[in-house]
Amino acid sequence: MKSELIIGQSRLFKKALEDLDKFAKSPWPVLITGETGVGKELLAQRVHFFSLRNKGPFIPVNCGALPPGLFESELFGYERGAFSGAVQSHRGLVRTAQGGSLFLDEIGELDLTLQVKLLRLLESQEIRSVGACRVETVDVRIIAATNRNLEELVREGRFRHDLLERLSVLPVHVPPLRERSEDIPVLAQEILERMGAVTEGTDLSCLSTFDWPGNARQLKNFLIRAYVLGGTHLGHDFLSRLLAKERGKLLGPALAEPSLTGVTLADIERQVVIDRLKRCHGNRKRAAKELGIAKSTLHEKLRKWKLDTPEEAWPLYREPQYPAIAP
C-alpha cells in the first residue's frame, strides 16, 4: 500500500488516522472529507487495507468523471441488448468489488437521480443491472470521499439528506497542510527519501512557510521538480529559491512581495482566484487545474463571493473586484 502521503505528527492528523483505523474494522460506510490533494484516496486504501475485506478488491470510482448517462450502467452493469451498442453483458463496478470495498470519490458531484439508486445499494445491498428484471444481492463496503460541503448541498437541494445520513455513519475529516504545518517537513523528507534524494543535514523548515493550497499533491509535485532540477543533494538555499518561484507563480508579481500591510489572507485568495480566471479567459476548469483545486471548489468560492457569473462574462471584467493591495 502506498503510504508516502499518509504521514504526520500533528494532533489533528493523528486523530484522523486513529479514527480511520478504528472505522476500518467495522462493516459500515466511511465518509472521508477534505480539500483536494490531502490524500483521500490513499486514506480510503488504508481503510480497506486494515479491514477484514483486505483480501478482496479495492475499486475506485470517480463520480465526477463519469457522465450521468453512463454512471448507472458502469456502476451496476447492463444486460446484452439493454441499449444500442450493448453487444454483451457488463458486470459493473459494484459486482467487481464483490467481497471488497467500493470507493466513491467526489461523491458530491453525483447527480440527484443517481443518488436514489446508490441509496438502495446502501440500504439493502441490492442492485439491478440496466435492462435486467431480477435484483441481485451484493457484498461490498462503501467508502466515499468529497471536497464539497455535503450539508450545504443538502440545504441547496442538490444532495439527498437520507443518502448523506447513510454515507456519514463513520465520518473523518482530513485537515489541510496549512492547518498542520509541523507535518510538512516530515512529509517532505519521506517523499524525497523515496525518490533517492539525500536529506541528511537539509533544513526543510522553509517548506512550512507556504500554505500549499494543493496540499500533499502540490507538495509532492514541487519536490519532484526540486529533485529533477537540483539533483540528489538539495540544499536549504536552493529549496528556498524554488519555493519563492512557487509562491510567485501562484500569487503573481504583485503578491509575491512581503509588503501586504492591511491585507487579509481572504483578500489574497480572492484576488488570486480572480486573476487566474482572467488569465484563463473565464475557463473555470483550466483555472481550477492551474490553482491546484477541484472545479467544484472553485464554484463554491465564486458562489461565496457572489461572483458566480457565466464563464463567458469573465473576459469582459476589467476592474478588480477585490480590495486594492499596496505595492
Q: pLDDT at position 169, please?
A: 93
pLDDT tens across the length of the chain (327 residues): 555 568 888 999 999 999 999 999 999 999 999 998 899 999 999 999 999 999 999 999 998 887 777 787 888 877 665 555 655 666 788 899 999 999 999 999 888 888 988 898 898 888 777 766 777 888 999 999 999 999 999 999 999 999 999 999 999 999 999 899 999 999 998 888 888 887 777 788 889 888 888 899 899 999 998 888 887 777 778 888 888 888 776 655 444 444 445 556 777 788 788 877 877 777 888 788 778 788 888 888 888 887 776 654 444 343 333 333 333
Residue 17 grid coordinates: 488516522
DSSP letter string, 222-249:
HHHHHHHHH-SB--HHHHHHHHHHHHHH
CA 29 – CA 167 distance, rounded (Å):
6
* Phi-psi group of 85: left, alpha or beta (phi > 0 → left; psi -120 to 50 → alpha; rest → beta): left
Q: Please give the model's pTM, rounded to 2 decimal places.
A: 0.74
**Domain ranges in the chain?**
11-175, 180-251, 265-316
* Under 8 Å between Cβ of 156 and 16: no
Cβ atoms of 106 and 141 closer than 8 Å: no
How many CB atoms are closer than 10 A to CB 57?
15
CB neighbour list of residue 206: distance below 8 Å, 6 or more residues apart: 236, 239, 240, 243
Distances (CA, A) of 110 to 37, 70, 298: 20, 12, 17
Residue 80, pLDDT score: 61
Q: Which CATH number fits domain 11-175: 3.40.50.300, 3.40.710.10, 3.40.50.150, 3.40.50.970?
A: 3.40.50.300
Question: What pLDDT score was predicted for residue 3?
Answer: 53
Compute CA distances 13 → 9, 126, 188, whole Å: 7, 35, 16
CATH number, span 180-251: 1.10.8
Question: How big is the CA angle at 309 (ends 303 and 312), to the nearest 5 degrees?
Answer: 145
In tens, the pLDDT along 126-181 reads 877 776 677 788 899 999 999 999 999 999 999 999 999 999 999 999 999 989 99
Looking at residue 298, its pLDDT comes to 85
